[in-house]
Amino acid sequence: MGKAISCNKRELEKRKTSKRLEKQKRKEARKANAGSGSFEDMIAYVDENGVITSTPPDSSVKEEVDVESIEISIPKKVEEETKALMGNVEYFNSDKGFGFIKKIDGEEKYFFHISNAPASIKKGNKVTFELERGKEGMNAINITLAK
């Protein structure tokens, strides 16, 4: 003797079977539509301007490239002429041998070491200097007292 199925269980069974049938129909429809597309229909070509097209390029029109004219290298670094900047010594610790220069036409402050400055440098001096990248930012180098 079979199990008695309540109304709720019957409805659930009906829904499950209807979902299975719908899924099967969708699968068959996808298979029927997929058969019409061939591999050649899926191929795309890129023309000389980078535009994707469905037509293959014309093989009769080819541009000859001189292999010797191709250069593969890193561009040479052009030496820039460094411009001397003006600033004021905002802080200097003669015991530790370092200080900071504030640029006159800006808010930037640059670290300097006594080895890059004249021995007579002190707080408040006007100086000219150049910049160099250091470990923790830009450093002032080639410091001279301005007149």
106, two tokens: 């800006």
* Digit-coded pLDDT (tens) for 98-126: 999 999 988 889 999 999 898 889 899 99
* Digit-coded pLDDT (tens) for 62-80: 778 888 888 888 877 777 6
Which domains are assigned to the chain? 10-56 (no CATH), 85-145 (2.40.50.140)
Q: CA 103 to CA 89: how far, in whole Å? A: 9
22: part of which helix (H) or strand (E)? helix 7-34
Supply the pLDDT for residue 136.
87
Question: Which burial class, exposed, middle or buried, applies to 51 when counting CB atoms under 10 A from its CB (0-12, 13-18, 19+)?
Answer: exposed
* Digit-coded pLDDT (tens) for 10-38: 899 999 999 999 999 999 888 877 655 66
Does the pTM exceed 0.85?
no
